[in-house]
Amino acid sequence: FIYSLNIDLFKRLGFREIDLGNFYAYAGVWLVIALGLINVIVAKKFKILQVLKFSIIGMSICFAMSLVPKTYLGLYILTPFLALAYGLSLSNVNALLSNSVDKKEQGEAFGVNQSLQSFIEAITPLFTSLLLTVNSFFPASMSYTFPNMLAAITAFICWIVFLLYFLNRPHPEIRA
């Protein structure tokens, strides 16, 4: 999503380099607020599975809504919600992973998790460039928003898998 967002912001909203820098600074501040403040408050009041039930679908909705704004203001209004959904999802997925394995296996589990995240981050620019250059299924004006749509769809699929796996049956091994 982030790799294609730059192109989307340039093409659809007319961002300049300075606008892009300001936007990422603004998004970074909201991510720090989400991870450092709101996440602490939410963790005291809700269980991990309860938070993920809403934060993952929140990410999907925010990714889809990122296609709507036609002005800077619309994107700036949406950004805190995306940062909140992402921040809550990120920290609670890690907590769920930690609670799902034995203490002796946590290092291995987090190592595998980090390897998968690194792999995804490594292939994302290649995949995004392919999506941005091959637009045989979409009009050219839509090709730079397709990765945002894909992010929304992927997050939605993750939410469905999460609901099916974690919420429809008991998991006594998870202390969440």
Q: Residue 78 in contact with residue 66, Cβ under 8 Å?
A: yes
Average pLDDT of the chain is 82
Task: Render pLDDT for 124-142 as a digit per residue (tens, 0 to 9).
Answer: 667 766 766 665 566 655 6
Any idea what DSSP says for residue 164? Answer: I
Q: What are phi and psi of 153, to 5 degrees?
A: -65, -45
Task: Render pLDDT for 44-98 as a digit per residue (tens, 0 to 9).
Answer: 999 998 999 999 999 999 988 988 888 888 889 999 999 999 999 988 988 888 8
CA pair distance 166, 16, nearest whole angstrom: 43
Confidence band for 160, pLDDT divided at 50, 70 and 90: very high
Q: Please report which helix (H) or strand (E) contains residue 147, including its range.
A: helix 146-162
Global pTM value: 0.80
Tokens representing residue 174 in the block: 């998870």
